[in-house]
Structure 1
Amino acid sequence: MNKPIRTLSLFCGLLFLVLLGNATYLQYFKADSLSKSSLNRRVIEASFARERGAILVGGEPVARSVKADDRYKWQRRYPQGPLYAHETGWFSFFSQSGIERSQNQVLSGDDPRLFARRLADLLGSGQPKGGSVELTLDPKAQQAAYDGLQALGQGIQGSVVAIEPATGRILAMVSLPSFDPNRLASHDLSRVSKADSRLEGDTAQPKLNRAIRTTLPPGSTFKLVTAAAAIENGLYDAESMVPAGAGYQLPQSSSVVHNSTGSACNPQQITLKYALEWSCNTAFAKIAVKLGNAKMKKMAEAFGFNDTALTDLPGEVQSVYPTLNEPNTALSGFGQSDVRATPLQMAMVAAGIANGGIVMTPHLVDELRSPDFDSLDKTNPTTYRRAISSATARQLTDMMVGVVEEGTAATAAIPGIRVAGKTGTAQTGRSDISNYAWFTSFAPADDPQVAVAVMIQNSQRSNGEISGGGLAGPIAKAVMEAVIGK
């Protein structure tokens, strides 16, 4: 064999080995991930040929499949559309999101735990079906949260999250503006493409789940974290006298911090409890400086900042408490500077206090079931981390009850029920961007069943009309009432 032929033979042999290696890699090592990929059209078309399982809330379907008189055989329907859109997501030929994506294997029937059922369907005459997913959401709480945000009027941008403190079950998760997932699940692919383009081009970002993907300064709701750090580090307790005053010049700065509650915070010395009740910025700025950035950051992280905790719904972003210099540490004491939080994060702060200092891992999926309604998996409550001691949690609870009964959160009061709460209004410092209204709470204070966080990002109101107690407090009240049955 002459040299050119030998070289060509070796080259062809090498190409064959590369081809063989690639085929082995794709069919063995990558087969599972490729079959699960949202871009795999063959798998998606196969999914449309069989009945996809339902997504349930309170035993009722909020996503289900119905027979279709076209090539795809089954049509995905979302009976209550925008109410659960950010949780269910959508299932279309082009893409999937939310629970439709994270629990796709069960819903499509491809989960390994459904192998016996698939085999029986193959050997028998039964039609293949997917399993169902039961969510933790409370339909009354979800509706109360949605209606509360809607009542604020056109152009509202905001979110509500409610958690069961003892378990981490998410009882409500609403983000406005919302969208109709039915328009993205149509079999008319041209209409789907146009609907998606309109949603993507909407500056209000209706597809954005603000509950877990929007981080904003939490304002005075973050004073709960500052107060927790002060008590845990032995600096103060609820009845300790703390420095306050009408103004506070930031260290190494000419900027002055002021209060937004009139003259209530003007005395030079007040109790920590009173400072929380009347949301005294000067007091919490001074406390944060005295604690220092390291201790403030450690406490924030104990509640979940700089981390994510939600694993069964895609897309959660981290709430942020960064390393700060002294003047910005002062501002962080009342939730300003570069502190950023999601509504889920602030609900976790309230839930941790309500649960004796233990933050439970938040979860949205309650149970996975086979097409025959046999349980495949049940989510058991797990501890995310202990943020504070039970003694500190009791002090903070009493202080938060004082906020509702004596201070700035009267709008969340429920007759006959002790409610613990905290208002917050985060300043944007810009005339073209509205301030943010926050509220976080739990009830009953003596036996907590629900912890709530409400965030109003844009209410189409002037900054003088925006406050956590005025806008967000009544929504939190309605959600708590829905859960506890008032």
Structure 2
Amino acid sequence: MNAPLRRVAISVLVLFTLLIVNVNYIQVVRSDELREDSGNTRVLTEEYSRERGSIVVDGTEVALSVPTQDTLKYLRQYPQGPVYAAVTGYYSLLYNSAQMERAVNDVLAGSDARLFTRRIADLFTGRDPAGGDVVLTLDAGVQEAAMAGLEGVTGAVVALDPSTGAVLGMASTPTYDPAQLSSHDPDAIRAYAAELDAQEQDPRLNRATQDNYPPGSVFKVIVSAAALSTGEYTPDTVIPAPDLLTLPGTSTTLENFGGSSCSSSQEQSLIDALTISCNTAFAQLGIDLGEDRVREMAEAFGMDGEGLEIPMTTAGSSVGDIESEAALGQSSIGQRDVRMTPLQAAMVASAVANDGTLMTPYLVDQVRAPDLTVIDQADPEELSEPVTPEVAGQLTEMMESVVANGSGRAARIPGTAVAGKTGTAQVAEDVPDHNWFIGFAPADDPRIAVAVFVANGGGTGGDVSAPIAGDVMQAYLEGQGG
């Protein structure tokens, strides 16, 4: 073979080799990436050719697929879309999926390993493939009360079953209609997305889990827990409560809410300090305890900076950096770099309510095959034990006093003892404060723990968030037979 032919042969061989390598690279290495590409029309057509499973709350489908006459054979619908949007998310031609639609996609799409037997049976019987259903832990009455309470404000509500960690309610406002992001009309989807983009607060953000905020005085429950756990404090221990506290190493003074005085004697019992939410008392208490004790207790309650999988991925909560005793004093009243998600706030209340044991929050109660056979059932798991039952009892006593005698009166439920803590967190100069409330009921036999967050509510946790919490807890207790 002469030299020119040899060069041609080698060139052809190299090209064939590159072609084979490229084909294998696409089919093997990039197969998952291409399959999950929301712009891959073949994948979309295949996904929409089978019935996607439903998301179910209290026996009602809050997300389901219905047959159409379109090229895409099924359309995703959300009958109570705005009420459950923070949890369901959307399933969109253009914007992929969000929240539970993404977190449990494999079940809903029918590709989950637990549905393998069903898929094999479909092949042999010729039956149309379908996805499985996901039954949530949410309580419809709690969810509706939470959304009603948040109407007109930016905020979130999370309610938990303290004994199991089951999420009974998860609401976020402002809200949106996921059906409009899940239609088969790309132009309409883009137009609605543009409307949402133009809003000052993005309704697609689940504020209950996806962002964290300064918690203000609800953090005083954690500082109280740290103090009581030393064995050196009881609810009746008298602590300093000055009108003004000069932070160590600085000339900066810290005052109580509205410049008020906590006690004419400049000292008061720990229970009284929590009842009226005395800033100077808790700033000094945190300093006296030291950073290690405060941080360790916060982390024991879940504030370790790490998120959870519930199965949606949540943002983390943490105390943040504390570089001095002055910073520790500010952090001890839930300011400075302390950040907490509403879910984490509900977890704090839940742990106290459950005798000091914190259960792992979860949203999925059951996974069902298309024939409604239950193929997986939730098994509650313990996450941590931040405090002993004795300390939890002392905290409950103190939090009951907050609602009965102090800043949390608006969370009262007739005929039922309620334990709670208010929070009012400063954000920035000339910006309205955030408002919080955490609590549980009944205080002597807790069945629901709740956190209410209102962003820039402008009032106090006691007058803005506490009434919402009371309504949510009352709705659940009445729905469960009182």
Give TM-score scaled by structure 2 length. 0.93
Deviation at 1:131, TM superposition (A): 0.9
| Residues 29/375 of structure 1: CA separation in 2 closer, same or farther (3 Å cut) | farther
2:167 is the alignment partner of 1:176: no
Deviation for aligned residue 1:467? 0.7
Q: 1:39 to 1:71 in 2, by over 3 A?
A: closer
Q: Distance in 2 between matches of 1:57 and 1:348?
A: 22
Answering whether residue 476 of structure 2 is matched by residue 483 of structure 1, we say yes
Which residue of 2 is the match for residue 403 of structure 1? 402
Q: Structure 1 381/103 Cα, relative in aligned 2: closer, same or farther at 3 Å?
A: same
Corresponding position: 1:371 with 2:370: yes
Kindly tell me: are residues 40 and 319 of structure 1, through their superposed partners in 2, closer, same or farther at Cα, counting changes over 3 Å? Answer: farther
2:392 corresponds in structure 1 to 393
Residue 266 of structure 1: how far off its partner (Å): 4.2
* Rounded Cα–Cα distance in structure 2 between residues aligned with 1:2 and 1:289: 89
What does 1:425-440 correspond to in 2, within 5 Å? 425-431=424-430, 433-440=431-438
Give how far 1:126 is off: 2.8
**Which residue number in structure 2 is paired with residue 201 of structure 1?**
198
Query: Cα distance 1:112–1:256, how it changes in 2: closer, same or farther (>3 A)?
Result: same
Which runs of structure 2 are paired with 1:267-346 in the superposition (5 Å)? 267-324=265-322, 325-346=324-345
Task: Give ranges in structure 2 of 5+ residues lacking alignment.
Answer: none
Query: Deviations 1:310-343 (Å, cap 9, x if unpaired)?
Result: 3144341111212312111101111011111110
Q: Corresponding residue for 1:453?
A: 451
Structure 1 pair 405/124, CA: closer, same or farther in 2 (3 Å)?
same
Give the C-alpha shift of residue 109 in structure 1.
Answer: 1.5
Shift of the alpha carbon at 1:158?
A: 0.6
Shift of 1:91: 0.7
| Aligned-residue offset at 1:24 | 4.1
Deviation at 1:250, TM superposition (A): 0.8
What is the identity percentage for the equivalent residue pairs of Structure 1 and Structure 2?
Answer: 43
Please give the alpha-carbon distance, in whole angstroms, between the structure 2 residues aligned to 1:132 and 1:213: 25
Q: Is the 8 A contact 1:53 1:129 kept in 2?
A: yes
Deviation at 1:10, TM superposition (A): 6.4
Helix, strand or coil at the partner of 1:430: coil
| Aligned match of 1:469 | 462
Two-structure CA RMSD over aligned residues (Å):
2.1
Comparing 20-29 and 374-383, the one that deviates more: 20-29
Equivalent positions of 1:33-432 (< 5 A) are 34-36=34-36, 38=38, 40-94=40-94, 95-150=96-151, 153=152, 156-260=153-257, 262-324=260-322, 325-431=324-430
TM-score by length of 1: 0.92
SS of aligned partner of 1:236: coil
Q: State how far apart, in whole Å, the 1-side matches of 2:184 and 2:357 are.
A: 47
Preserved contact between residue 45 and residue 93 of structure 1 (Cα < 8 Å):
no
CA 248–12 in structure 1, closer or farther in 2 if over 3 Å, else same:
farther
- Read off the aligned partner of 1:271 and give its amino acid letter: S
Measured after TM superposition, the shift of residue 447 of structure 1 is 1.3
- Return 5+ residue gaps in structure 1 as ranges: none
Q: Structure 1, residues 366-417: CA drift from partner, whole Å, max 9, x if none?
A: 1110000111211211111111122111110111011111211111111221
Whether the aligned pair in 1 keeps the contact of 2:321 and 2:337 (CA below 8 Å) is no
SS of residue paired to 1:437: strand
Q: CA deviation at 1:100?
A: 1.0
Whichever residue aligns with residue 369 of structure 2, its letter is S
How far apart, in 1, do the equivalents of 2:12 and 2:34 lie? 28
Indicate how the Cα distance of structure 1 residues 33 and 106 shifts in structure 2: closer, same or farther if over 3 A, else same: farther
Deviation at 1:40, TM superposition (A): 4.4
Q: Structure 1, residues 410-452: CA drift from partner, whole Å, max 9, x if none?
A: 1111122111100111112411x21010000001111111110
In the alignment, the residues of structure 2 paired with residue 18 and residue 385 of structure 1 have an alpha-carbon distance, to the nearest angstrom, of 55
Partners of 2:387 and 2:104 lie apart in 1 by: 34
Which is worse superposed, 159-168 or 191-200?
191-200
Contact kept? 1:289, 1:329, Cα under 8 Å: yes
Distance change in 2, residues 1:75/1:247 (3 Å) = same
User: What does the per-residue CA deviation read over 1:275-323, in whole Å, with 9 as the maximum and x for residues that have no partner?
Assistant: 1111010010001111222221111111111334531443411112123
Q: Is the 8 A contact 1:159 1:456 kept in 2?
A: yes
* Offset from partner CA, 1:51-73 (integer Å, 9 cap, x none): 11110000100001112121112
1:92-134 CA-to-partner distances (Å, cap 9, x unmatched) read 1121111111111111122232233233333334322211000
Q: CA deviation at 1:207?
A: 0.9
Distance 1:13 1:404 in 2: 82
After the TM superposition, which of the residue ranges 101-110 and 436-445 deviates more from structure 2?
Answer: 101-110
Deviation larger for 230-239 or 9-18 = 9-18
Q: Secondary structure at the match of 2:257?
A: coil
